[in-house]
């Protein structure tokens, strides 16, 4: 059973805050895999992560499409997942959006991929089940979890309030091992993990 | 020697800027981002108080969007880029 993130330490120089969770090997492997695929999706020509645990994840998403783009192909702007990760900056003036994209897209892709790699590296350092993050790593981890969830949501067709509830109802009628059910379980696991991390970053429930 | 002319100039220049550059950064509701996460982003990026961050988060959630910053166009573009870095659905536009 996974243990949610809690904050440890005193927030002092001698004992800085740390964020500690307990995750099993399978959960860590799955996270490393989706984080690696997120980095690949954002920087298709960048360094690639080891495919640890990929069989599990591939089997989960095989029915709903992969997080990665076809091999060798650049991430296409029309990919709705990439479009959500790097949306237009202006809603009604295409010239302003284009100029904004020209100035920001490469940097955003790199920073998002870097956060995903940072989170994956922290998971790779786990001793036993214990995942321990510094303040900077915790922030990168929270951002990367958001991006993975945005990609999963796009792949599942969740784009508006209520879509997720509808999908959950639909999933109730599907066999237990259906890919959509598995993807929903992953989505909800990521949301649970992220909520615990952000609550810890905000200083706990009573802050 | 008086400081007054200098102060007047500073005030006038700030007023001009406000008239010339009424831009705003908006954050739009989406079904993915958690309420806790959006609150954390507003606190950690903008340095807003917990109270202000939660109010803006609730505006996004209930009204569908919230104006999270006002100022010069370049600053609103920088905020939009940073918020995209956090995975929030942000845009900039002229206020009005």
> What residues form DSSP beta bridges with B65?
B28
Say if CB A139 and CB B40 are below 8 A apart: no
Residue B48: C-alpha distances to residues A28, A53, B57 (Å): 33, 40, 11
Helix runs in chain A, H state only: 25-42, 54-61, 80-85, 94-124, 135-156, 163-172, 179-201
Q: Is the pLDDT of residue A26 over 50?
A: yes
- Whole-angstrom Cα distance, residue A34 to residue A50? 11
Answer yes or no: do B32 and A146 touch at CB < 8 A: yes
Task: Give the closest-approach CA distance of B10 to chain A in angstroms.
Answer: 30
Task: Give the closest-approach CA distance of B61 to chain A in angstroms.
Answer: 10
Contacts 24+ apart (CB under 8 A), A126-134: A126/A23, A126/A28, A129/A3, A129/A22, A129/A23, A129/A24, A130/A20, A130/A21, A130/A22, A131/A20, A131/A21, A131/A22, A131/A23, A131/A28, A132/A18, A132/A19, A132/A20, A133/A5, A133/A18, A133/A19, A133/A20, A134/A16, A134/A18
Whether B77 has its CB under 8 Å from any CB of chain A: the answer is yes
Answer yes or no: do B32 and A87 touch at CB < 8 A: no
ipTM for the whole complex: 0.83
The confidence score (pLDDT) of residue B6 equals 56
Dihedral, CA of residue A39, residue A44, residue A49 and residue A50, to nearest 10: 130
Q: What is the mean pLDDT of residues A153-179?
A: 89
The confidence score (pLDDT) of residue A53 equals 46
Answer yes or no: do B33 and A88 touch at CB < 8 A: no
The confidence score (pLDDT) of residue A29 equals 96
Structural domain for B76, as ranges = 22-94
Is B71 among the domain residues? Answer: yes
Domain ranges for chain A: 3-201
| CATH number, domain with residue B36 | 3.30.1390.10
Task: Give the closest-approach CA distance of B8 to chain A in angstroms.
Answer: 35
- Whole-angstrom Cα distance, residue A55 to residue A32? 12
The confidence score (pLDDT) of residue A177 equals 84
The confidence score (pLDDT) of residue A68 equals 45
Q: What is the mean pLDDT of residues A179-204?
A: 93
- Helix H or strand E segment including A133: strand A130-133
The confidence score (pLDDT) of residue B2 equals 53
Q: Which residue has the higher pLDDT, A140 or A167?
A: A140
Q: From A92, which residue of chain B is nearest by alpha-carbon distance?
A: B93
The confidence score (pLDDT) of residue B19 equals 57
Answer yes or no: do B87 and A111 touch at CB < 8 A: no
Whether B95 has its CB under 8 Å from any CB of chain A: the answer is no
Tens-of-pLDDT digits for all 96 residues of chain B?
555 555 555 555 555 555 566 999 999 999 999 999 999 999 999 999 999 999 999 999 999 999 999 999 999 999 999 999 999 999 999 997
Q: Which range among A82-86, A174-178, B16-20 shows the weakest confidence by mean pLDDT? A: B16-20
pLDDT 10s digits, A92-146: 998 899 999 989 999 999 999 999 999 999 999 998 999 999 999 999 999 999 9
Residue A49: pLDDT band (50, 70, 90) is very low
Q: Which residues of B touch A162 (CB under 8 A)?
A: 31
Please count the structural domains in chain B.
1
Residue ranges of B 28-57 with Cβ closer than 8 A to chain A: 29-34, 36-37, 39-40, 43-44, 50
Q: Which range among A35-49, A52-66, A84-98, B38-52 shows the weakest confidence by mean pLDDT? A: A52-66
Which tokens in the block code for residue A206?
A: 């009573």
Residue A50: pLDDT band (50, 70, 90) is very low
The confidence score (pLDDT) of residue B25 equals 98
Answer yes or no: do B32 and A143 touch at CB < 8 A: no
Q: Rounded to the nearest 5°, which phi and psi values hold at A21?
A: -130, 165
Say if CB B28 and CB B64 are below 8 A apart: yes
Q: Which residues of B touch A143 (CB under 8 A)?
A: 85-87
Q: Which residues of A touch B84 (CB under 8 A)?
A: 85-87, 89, 104, 108
């Amino acid at each position: 059973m996974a243990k949610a993130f809690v904050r440890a330490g005193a927030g002092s120089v001698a004992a800085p805050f740390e964020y500690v969770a307990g995750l099993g090997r399978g959960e860590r492997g799955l996270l490393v895999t989706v984080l690696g695929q997120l980095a690949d999706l954002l920087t298709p020509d960048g360094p690639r992560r080891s495919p640890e645990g990929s069989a599990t994840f591939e089997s989960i998403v095989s029915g709903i499409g992969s997080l990665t783009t076809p091999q060798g192909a650049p991430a296409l702007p029309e990919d709705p997942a990439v479009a959500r990760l790097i949306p237009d900056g202006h809603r009604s003036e295409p010239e302003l959006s284009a100029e904004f994209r020209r100035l920001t897209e490469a940097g955003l892709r790199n920073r998002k991929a870097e956060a995903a790699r940072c989170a994956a590296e922290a998971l790779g350092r786990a001793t036993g089940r214990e995942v321990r993050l510094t303040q900077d790593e915790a922030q990168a981890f929270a951002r990367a979890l958001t991006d993975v969830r945005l990609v999963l949501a796009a792949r599942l067709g969740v784009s508006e309030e209520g879509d997720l509830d509808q999908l959950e109802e639909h999933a109730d009628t599907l066999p237990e091992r259906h890919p959509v059910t598995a993807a929903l379980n992953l989505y909800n696991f990521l949301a649970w993990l992220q909520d615990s991390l952000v609550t810890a970053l905000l200083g706990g429930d009573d802050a | 020697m008086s400081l007054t002319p200098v102060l007047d100039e500073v005030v006038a220049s700030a007023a001009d800027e406000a008239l010339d550059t009424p831009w705003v950064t908006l954050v739009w509701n989406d079904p993915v981002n958690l309420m806790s996460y959006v609150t954390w982003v507003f606190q950690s990026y903008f340095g807003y108080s917990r109270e202000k961050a939660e109010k803006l988060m609730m505006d996004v959630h209930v009204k569908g969007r919230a104006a999270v910053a006002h100022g010069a166009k370049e600053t609103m573009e920088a905020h939009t880029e940073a918020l995209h870095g956090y995975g929030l659905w942000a845009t900039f536009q002229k206020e009005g």
